[in-house]
Amino acid sequence: LNHIITELQEKVSSARMVPVEEIFQKFPKMVRDIALEKLKEIEMLVEGSDTELDKSVLNEIGQPLMHLLRNAVGHGIESPEVREQNKKGRRGLIKLSAKQTENQILIEVEDDGSGIDVEAMKEIAIRKNHITLEEAGNMQEKDILYMLFKPGFSSTLEVTGLSGRGVGLDIVKTATEKLGGTVEISTRKGAGTRFSLKLPIAQAIMQTLMIGVGKHVFLVPSNSVLETMEVKKENIKMVGKREVFILRNEAIPFVRLKKLLNIDAGEQDNTRVVVIIYRGDNFVAVGVDAVVDQMENIIKPFDTIAQTFKGFSGGTILPDGSVALLLDMTKLFDLETL
């Protein structure tokens, strides 16, 4: 298990808050190059580059933003000639912005192009059997626009003036939702379109008990701990093939965290402290080498992919720069089938 712990610790270490400028800075050149290729005149405005986002989230959001910007250049902004016919300036505007609200980061890609003809979209969706006439009658504008996120729906629009407007949007939706966020579209025909990505600030403050096993430090949510006490040999008994801990004349399951996590902490068993953990209406005694501290920590939760081993739900960077992983005791106990 040591390599899994190391891998998860690396994920926590990379959970630094960094300015979105790290990815924003590469987009203006991309927009200029595509505009040149499409013979369009486009100005790009970037705002809020100093807004900070979790580095792992920032790495995931780069490709979706690229799709939105390519889409805006290729299919949002009109040609200079068409813009002049529509009494607009020859040069189109694309704005990429980021800002932090109370509990989320808002990233928006906005253009002042042709907008999306929602009624035309609805008619195509009915004609191509994506929705029924009855369903269409009950749909609001946002519901119709949301069809752009359906895989394959953009190909439905190929023979229309909406061609290409949905390309890559399923990727945008999937990536945003994977990060626990949402994506919204607002549009005005002839005036432009705005895509809004709302991303959670991926951290939570939690009161934790810090425990040590070998060279590792782990965290347990304080609200799952009844008490801690020194291990005395007379309090540990064997019942069949399992160890139990005698807590005030009651035998409760006893597990050594070193064994539970399969940690090589040397030949000698250094279990000196027992942590009594709530498990539903019952208790489990967990043997550890030491109780290090009790403190409030900023926890970085793991996404579903990072949960290679079901016993960890997040981690934090300690004041000395080292990493402590948050134990999911319920899942650990389930693995042990106590």
Which of the pair, 336 or 98, is modelled with greater confidence? 98
**pLDDT, tens digit (0-9, with 9 covering 90-100), for 255-272:** 999 988 888 756 577 899
- Residue 4 in this model has a pLDDT that exceeds 80: no
Does residue 215 sit in the same domain as residue 297? Answer: yes
The CATH number of residue 220's host domain is 2.40.50.180
Average pLDDT score over residue span 86-94: 97
163: pLDDT confidence band, cut at 50, 70 and 90? very low
| Mean pLDDT within 84-113 | 93
Region 32-39: mean pLDDT is 95
Q: What's the average model confidence in pLDDT over 79-98?
A: 97
Residue 43 has pLDDT above 80, yes or no: yes
> Quick one: 96 and 70 in the same domain?
yes
Are residues 250 and 173 both part of a single domain?
A: no
Q: Which of 178, 200, 222 is where one domain is finished?
A: 200
* Domain match, 290 and 273 both: yes
Do both 186 and 262 map to the same domain? no
How much is the pLDDT for 173? 92
Position 158 scores a pLDDT of 47
Our count of domains for the chain comes to 2
Query: What pTM does this model have?
Result: 0.61
Gap between the Cα atoms of 111 and 117, Å rounded: 15
Is the pLDDT at 61 greater than 60, yes or no?
A: yes
Residues 60 and 158 in one domain: yes
Section 243-262 average pLDDT: 93
Kindly report the three-state secondary structure assignment for every residue of the chain. CHHHHHHHHHHHHCCCEEECHHHHCCHHHHHHHHHHHCCCCEEEEEECCCCEEEHHHHHHHHHHHHHHHHHHHHHHCCCHHHHHHCCCCCCEEEEEEEEECCCEEEEEEEECCCCCCHHHHHHHHHHCCCCCHHHHHHCCHHHHHHHHHCCCHHHHCCCCCCCCCCCCHHHHHHHHHHCCCEEEEEEECCCEEEEEEEEECCCEEEEEEEEEECCEEEEEEHHHEEEEEECCHHHEEEECCEEEEEECCEEEEEEEHHHHCCCCCCCCCCCCEEEEEEECCEEEEEEECEEEEEEEEEEEECCCCCCCCCCEEEEEECCCCCEEEEECHHHHHHHHCC
pLDDT greater at residue 17 or residue 179: 179
Is 309 or 110 the better-scoring residue by pLDDT?
110
| 224 and 327 housed in the same domain | yes
Question: What is the C-alpha separation between 275 and 217, in angstroms, rounded?
Answer: 14
Tell me the percentage of the chain whose pLDDT exceeds 70: 86
Of 150, 183, 200, the residue at which a domain comes to its end is: 200
Do 272 and 326 share a structural domain? Answer: yes
**One domain for residues 220 and 191:** no
Evaluate if residue 114 carries a pLDDT over 80.
yes
Query: pLDDT at residue 164 above 60?
Result: no
Indicate if the pLDDT at residue 161 is higher than 50: no
Mean pLDDT, all residues of the chain: 86
pLDDT band of residue 20 (cuts 50, 70, 90) is very high
- Quick one: pLDDT at residue 30? 96
Residue 96 has pLDDT above 90, yes or no: yes
Q: What CATH number is attached to the domain comprising 109?
A: 3.30.565.10
- Whether 27 and 126 map to the same domain: the answer is yes
- Mean pLDDT lowest for which of 132-136, 149-153, 161-165, 317-321? 161-165
On whether both 194 and 221 belong to a single domain, the answer is no
Question: What per-residue confidence (pLDDT) applies to 12?
Answer: 67
Q: In terms of pLDDT, which residue wins out, 6 or 83?
A: 83
The last residue of a domain, from among 200, 217, 247:
200
- pLDDT above 50 (res 160): no
Verify that 189 and 226 share a domain, yes or no: no
Q: Which domain does 309 fall in, by range? A: 204-336
Q: Is pLDDT larger for residue 166 or for residue 135?
A: 135
